[in-house]
Amino acid sequence: MRIVSLLPAATEIVCALGLRSELVGRSHECDFPADVEALPALTRARVDSTLPSDRIDAEVRRIMADRLPIYMLDEARLAALAPDVVVTQEACEVCAISYDQVVRSLRRTAPQARVVSLQPARLGDIWSDIRAVAKACGVPERGEAVVADLLARLEHARHATPRSACSASSVSSPRVAVVEWLAPPMLAGHWVPEATLAAGGTPVGPVAGVMSAYATWDEIRALRPDAVIVAPCGFDLPRTLRESGPVAETLQSLAPQVLFMDGNAYLNRPGPRIVEAIETIAGWLRGEAVPKERALIAAAARSVSRDLSSTSALRAR
């Protein structure tokens, strides 16, 4: 079987199912497991991802206003790969190539391919998507095994040792705001509110299953969060820290405790590693250290500026 994945989360699902050797093509954003970067990339973005947050937002708005696709697909390379299964998505045209665009291209290049479209809106949809990919690839039993393992880990995170006196918040179920974009600010929706709830927090902002929403800093402050998670979509942890620098004082004013997270790899990606995101947040809310490759704790509001000023903080924690 020849599989093409046009979504980072889908690539992780395919590999978690033990089908890495069947994967022949990927999107330009697929980066985990690391060896998938050796595969041909079939997409590219019109927007330069190295631009600052506010300029990325402006470029995306301009492209959408002009009714242009944000991503482009290499049809010649896709045709040459002759895939049997193509995994794409219908959740967000900003985050990955659109479903309609993929279907139109496949009619011209690989009409024999079976299309599996992921539509994750809530946490449970991620488990359904894993099962759907497994079924399309002829290994439904592997899908059930992967989901069972992830759900077992989720239950463990939910029922871990109660919070200690040194936890991230003295509140039993702290109000948590998840900032998914910084300029302009945006609060995370889709599966993130349920992920926050599963980690022991009370999500504030968009309800589960709805799209992420723009919000002013004053509007976020008015939600009275006890803790804030900063996890911009598409940014790794070092990039998150750099982008947070200009708004460090604002972040200090939102809540007593702040967690900077690699949202691109964990929280914003609806694949198997969403459970690692939940485990990380749950541990943080219990006052535990967090894995340095996933997140950075600002131990107190007054330390936010200091932590953002030097990447050495990443090595120290």
Residue range(s) of every CATH 3.40.50.1980 domain in the chain: 3-151, 161-316
| Long-range CB contacts for residues 309-314, cutoff 8 Å, separation at least 24 | 309/245, 311/238, 311/241, 314/237, 314/238, 314/241
Q: Which fold has domain 161-316?
A: Rossmann fold (3.40.50)
Confidence at residue 315, expressed as pLDDT on a 0 to 100 scale: 32
Report residue 300 as tokens.
Answer: 């107190």
pLDDT per residue as tens digits for the range 66-79: 887 788 899 999 99
CATH class held by domain 3-151 = alpha beta
How far is Cα 4 from Cα 7, in angstroms, rounded to an integer? 9
What is the pLDDT, as a whole number, of residue 314? 37
Q: Given CA atoms 60, 273, 159, 145 in this order, what sign does their dihedral have?
A: positive
pLDDT of residue 300: 46
pTM for this structure? 0.89
Overall size of the chain counted in residues? 317
All residue ranges of the chain with pLDDT < 70 are: 91-95, 161-171, 299-317
CA–CA distance, 177 with 21 (Å, rounded to integer):
40
CA distance 258 to 112: 49
245-263 pLDDT per residue, tens: 999 999 989 999 999 999 9
pLDDT attached to residue 71: 87
Tens of pLDDT along 87-113? 998 766 666 788 888 888 888 988 999
